Amino acid sequence: MALVVYNTLTNKKEKFVSIEEDKVKLYLCGPTVYDLLHIGNFRGPITFNLMRNWMEFIGYDVNFVYNYTDIDDKIINKAIDEGVESSVISERYIQEFEKDFNRLGLRAHTHNPRVSEYMDSIINIVKELIAKGKAYEVDGEVFFEIKTFDDYGKLSKNKLEDLQAGQRVEIDEKKRHPADFVLWKPSKPGEPRWNSPWGEGRPGWHIECSAMIKSLLGDTIDIHGGGIDLIFPHHECEIAQGEGCSDKTYCNYWIHNNFINMGDEKMSKSLGNIISGRAFMDEYHPEILKYVFLSAHYRSVLSVSNEKILQAVSALNRIYSAILLAKETVEQVADKSNADAGFVKKLEQFDNKIKKSLNDDFNTADFISYVFEAVRTFNALGFANKAKRNVVHKGNSEAFLAWIEKYGKMSALFYENPKTILSELDDMLIRLRDIDKEKVETLVQKRNQARTDKNWDEADSIRQELEALGIELYDGSARGWRVRVSES
């Protein structure tokens, strides 16, 4: 069963064949570091983290490059506002991004190159493009000449004729064609600058990725990823530069993740509904962000809504409750474990289903649903009577824990301390469902008193009252109760 990926270049699913056997060269466009990233920017890192882990799981060695754009107008403008060097801004936001990245528990990339460290390589590519007649200089500014590259538009399916009108491309008198794009430009006063054969200046945007790819991965890579908003012009221009320079295919498979909506609306400054990854993680939990993202296929538009968040809280509650149950059972039963062959076989069947799903263009939505089914199967093994838990329960618990750990490692999920996260999820539910915590606490105390007094009727009626409020009594939690979660 081979890996199949959807390739934006051909607009279809294709069997994945790597350039070198068992090796993958993967490049993902990283952030421009001038501010905290909004949650949509984390869809790439979270999704590609799983893609890389999955490819390694099925036997590839993945060289994963994720860059930091540390030279950009937005960085420079912020630096001018604050009266500091632009490197102060980029350094600050690289550190802030890395805090968020580590909090998400994603695996470190093989390389995190910064544009400012690749200036020689950028200048060399521009020189080569000029020498080949694919680029031209006007007053210290260098442009790539689109007409010299017949395949321009092959990724975005934009036709050169349609770009004539100057829509979606900058009008500039110096350009031979409106769609020609900047490779190098003179720096304005106060902007960072590097020496070049065309005077002091700085690179255009697109050239950086081509330079870092060429330096770190070579002329041709296996997979280039990014958000769909980067297909045009950024990735289209990367192909033109890369192939214009090397005369070789730039990248074999282009993988693009889709947008995030807030509810039904697109995230935008004008709507004021942009939420940073950090604010989301503070308000909810990193686990919720990862779970919500991976519950949808990366190519679908994902709406982040209260409903989705509630579903994620419920689902994670079930999953972590099962993990806690398994851990407690392993501790509780002292004898040597003996897993039930039938249960082990069921886990293997889920392995096969997950393999099929992830090999089918990384279908993480199906992957998550199989994890959930495995949890259900585990819960159905009959743990209710604590006193009767035996070596088979213990064996099954160990098998389940090993199984969930394997997929947790792959998706950066399910490795939190179950007790801690269950109480955090519980607090979240209390908040999201607007539950009057004091009232619940009072009722629980009254019920405990009624039980001490052997007043069973009253204890029972209080329990019913709690149930009506959406609360269930639960020994596993420190406070003795929890918000009931819906079985989803």
Interacting residues toward Zn ion by CB under 5 A: 29, 209
**φ/ψ of residue 376, rounded to 5:** -60, -45
In angstroms, give the least distance from the CB of 167 to Zn ion: 22
By the 8 A CB rule, do 302 and 358 touch?
Answer: no
In angstroms, give the least distance from the CB of 240 to Zn ion: 13
Q: What is the CA radius of gyration of the chain?
A: 27
In angstroms, give the least distance from the CB of 27 to Zn ion: 8
**Consecutive H or E run containing 360:** none
In angstroms, give the least distance from the CB of 209 to Zn ion: 3
By the 8 A CB rule, do 283 and 28 touch?
Answer: no
Structure tokens at 434: 């607007």
Question: Among residues 144 and 367, whose Cβ is nearest to Zn ion?
Answer: 144
Tell me the C-alpha to C-alpha distance, in Å, between residue 372 and each of 136, 256, 351, 375, 473: 57, 27, 13, 5, 23
Per DSSP bridges, beta strands 260-262 and 302-304 are parallel
**Consecutive H or E run containing 5:** strand 4-7
d(CA 241, CA 220): 12
Question: Among residues 69 and 329, whose Cβ is nearest to Zn ion?
Answer: 69
Structure tokens at 23: 């090796």
d(CA 25, CA 269): 35
Q: At what angle do helices 364-379 and 306-332 cross, to 10 degrees?
A: 40
Question: Among residues 256 and 389, whose Cβ is nearest to Zn ion?
Answer: 256
In angstroms, give the least distance from the CB of 234 to Zn ion: 6
Question: Among residues 79 and 251, whose Cβ is nearest to Zn ion?
Answer: 251
Residue with structure tokens 């984390």?
42
In angstroms, give the least distance from the CB of 202 to Zn ion: 16
Question: Among residues 73 and 427, whose Cβ is nearest to Zn ion?
Answer: 73
291 forms beta bridges with: none
Question: Among residues 71 and 209, whose Cβ is nearest to Zn ion?
Answer: 209
In angstroms, give the least distance from the CB of 254 to Zn ion: 12
Question: Among residues 154 and 451, whose Cβ is nearest to Zn ion?
Answer: 154
In angstroms, give the least distance from the CB of 214 to Zn ion: 13
Question: Among residues 3 and 209, whose Cβ is nearest to Zn ion?
Answer: 209
**Consecutive H or E run containing 224:** strand 221-227
In angstroms, give the least distance from the CB of 213 to Zn ion: 9
Residue with structure tokens 């009253």?
458
Question: Among residues 51 and 209, whose Cβ is nearest to Zn ion?
Answer: 209
402 forms beta bridges with: none
Question: Among residues 5 and 29, whose Cβ is nearest to Zn ion?
Answer: 29
Which residue intervals of 63-118 are DSSP H helices?
A: 73-82, 86-103
d(CA 207, CA 185): 12
Question: Among residues 227 and 408, whose Cβ is nearest to Zn ion?
Answer: 227
Beta strand segments in 394-448, E: none
Omega cis (within 30) before 233: yes
68 forms beta bridges with: 114
In a 13 Å sphere around the CA of 466, the CA atoms on its Cβ side amount to 27
In angstroms, give the least distance from the CB of 195 to Zn ion: 24
In a 13 Å sphere around the CA of 23, the CA atoms on its Cβ side amount to 8
In angstroms, give the least distance from the CB of 228 to Zn ion: 13
Contacts 24+ apart (CB under 8 A), 405-410: 407/354, 407/367, 407/371, 409/53, 410/50, 410/53, 410/54, 410/57
